[in-house]
Structure 1
């Protein structure tokens, strides 16, 4: 697993001294320090552009950006570069004495709240956290989604449900996909329910809103506020002709999942064999769906390929009798097959539900 990347940005000599001390305390992170040329040392990188342009570049490259400077400067520098809470990095602000560390932006999804607490602990500083659910000791929908490795289907819905949670309104939670909840400490006003049909028939009036954990793209019609969390549990085994365009693979994946009423936001990985490791079309699909590419060794495929229908043509091309199904089966930790291999103009796909 790659280390979390941090940029530490400062505009003063005192800030540089604190930045160096912070970087030393963050030995488990990948830290780069940036400042103006007149304050730079050998191990510190220089930026010459205006701070707004520079921050725009940094926000696309780092997980966490810690700014040791006035909060007003940071606010003005990041404002033109903000995109969405699902993609913006965590932004911290520190005073040059290192007394306070403010979680300024992306406290939950961007990790700024946890980063602020970490910096405070390692520098003996005071973390300043202002997100409502953290102040009140409860849980926002985006935090729950992150803990369960889910994607939020609609951020406006998530904001509405979080507001209800914050106001101590009763919220139902239906876990259709059996996500692991044992390690999650739910707020007292979030109640675990069994099924959507039961909720619609009897419990809907008891709750101000609903959190539905589901891969299904068919939206229930509910007379209440609700948000869908989509667990990233889908693994697609894939084989394709050489140099198959990425857009063709993307379209095939979308068509396949649509036939199953499954959201493509739930894709965890695309799995294939080593022969396809440098297949640009598969890389493009992984990038589009924000999915991992898993390369399954031939030896592992050979161990399970007898379970699936084989092909002499595939064997002549790859040295294996089948690709899509054994790769999906292995990469899903021997999960449940939701769709056996489908052939579509040189692309073969199978769909699996990951066990872990």
Structure 2
């Protein structure tokens, strides 16, 4: 797991004093301190633009941004760059005395609530958390999805169901994929059920990888999609991204899988910088996994060999060995498919 990157930003001398304390207490994080030139020391990087422009430069670079300044300044500075709760970084705000740590943005998915608690504990400060489910001690849909490694099909639906959870309405959870819920403490008003037909009395949370649309029920519901699909992929050199994306979509449609279920695309080192594969990973929000040739050679005898592939790669197979290894030697859901210069195989991750 990569070390979490934090930016510590301050615009005052008192803020610098607190920033140094934060650095001392966050040795397990990768922290970078930013301030104005007149307050900078050897540990700080100088802010050379206005604060709004500067904050924009940080938004895609750090998982957590801790601002030691007035909340109003931070709100105005980050406002032009906010995208969505699923992608915005966590934003914390602290007063220069270090008495309060405010979780301002992306409290759940961005981790700001947990970060505020962590920092407050280490600095002997008070965490300020305002998200309703945290205040009430219950659980939001996005946190449930995060804990069981699922994608949210529709964030508006998730918000609506979270509001019902917070309101103590009875919610049915249909765990069609048998996701591990053992370590998840569900709110008392969430009841496990089996089968969609049992949802007709409640609001529903449905966990499924299938490409079904939200059930036509007279009640609100949200679909959570487990990210367990690994696609082994090979392609001719400079294969256009559009063709790779379309091939993947067509393959998943045939299998009746939701494309949000894709966890990773696995290929060999020779294809590591293939623009079409990189673009497909970005399109599906999937991780690119490179399988070393040695690992492919260890398992390739399990799969049909291709002399053409051997002549071009030195390996007898690409798609299936890569998918097999990347899925933790998981279940094959679809053997290699040849799609006009693209080969795909589909696997269910064992992790």
TM over 0.5: yes
Once the two structures are superposed, residues 96-132 of structure 1 have per-residue CA deviations (whole angstroms, 9 ceiling, x without a partner) of 0101000011100111000000100110100000100
Task: Find out whether 1:213 has 2:180 as its counterpart.
Answer: no
Aligned twin of 1:99? 99
Pick from 282, 285, 289 the counterpart of residue 280 of structure 2. 285
Structure 1 position 302, deviation (Å): 2.5
In structure 2, distance between residues paired with 1:284 and 1:218: 26
Structure 1 position 297, deviation (Å): 2.2
Aligned twin of 1:66? 66
Pick from 306, 309, 312 the counterpart of residue 317 of structure 1. 312
How does 1:219-238 map onto structure 2 within 5 Å? 219=213, 220-238=215-233
In structure 2, distance between residues paired with 1:161 and 1:234: 26
Aligned twin of 1:259? 254
How does 1:108-127 map onto structure 2 within 5 Å? 108-127=108-127
In structure 2, distance between residues paired with 1:12 and 1:275: 50
CA-based RMSD: 1.2
Does 18-27 or 213-222 show the bigger shift?
A: 213-222
Once the two structures are superposed, residues 284-330 of structure 1 have per-residue CA deviations (whole angstroms, 9 ceiling, x without a partner) of 21122221111222232223222222212112222222111111111
In structure 2, distance between residues paired with 1:230 and 1:67: 34
**Which secondary structure does the structure 1 equivalent of 2:200 belong to?**
helix
Aligned twin of 2:324? 329
In structure 2, distance between residues paired with 1:82 and 1:277: 31
In structure 1, distance between residues paired with 2:118 and 2:240: 44
Task: Find out whether 1:204 has 2:207 as its counterpart.
Answer: no
In structure 1, distance between residues paired with 2:313 and 2:35: 52
In structure 2, distance between residues paired with 1:301 and 1:84: 39
In structure 2, distance between residues paired with 1:138 and 1:78: 29
Task: Find out whether 1:51 has 2:51 as its counterpart.
Answer: yes
In structure 2, distance between residues paired with 1:186 and 1:158: 16
Structure 1 position 230, deviation (Å): 1.0
Structure 1 position 247, deviation (Å): 2.5
**Which secondary structure does the structure 2 equivalent of 1:65 belong to?**
strand
**Which secondary structure does the structure 2 equivalent of 1:287 belong to?**
helix
In structure 1, distance between residues paired with 2:247 and 2:52: 41
In structure 1, distance between residues paired with 2:273 and 2:88: 29
Aligned twin of 1:272? 267
How does 1:138-153 map onto structure 2 within 5 Å? 138-153=138-153
**Which secondary structure does the structure 2 equivalent of 1:130 belong to?**
coil
How does 1:237-252 map onto structure 2 within 5 Å? 237-252=232-247
Structure 1 position 255, deviation (Å): 1.7
User: What runs of 5+ residues in structure 2 fail to find an aligned partner?
Assistant: none
In structure 2, distance between residues paired with 1:122 and 1:314: 56
Aligned twin of 1:81? 81
Structure 1 position 280, deviation (Å): 2.4
Structure 1 position 233, deviation (Å): 0.5
In structure 2, distance between residues paired with 1:75 and 1:318: 52
In structure 1, distance between residues paired with 2:321 and 2:31: 40
Structure 1 position 275, deviation (Å): 2.1
Moved over 3 A (4+): none
In structure 2, distance between residues paired with 1:175 and 1:290: 23
**Which secondary structure does the structure 1 equivalent of 2:7 belong to?**
strand
In structure 2, distance between residues paired with 1:223 and 1:354: 35
In structure 2, distance between residues paired with 1:85 and 1:180: 25
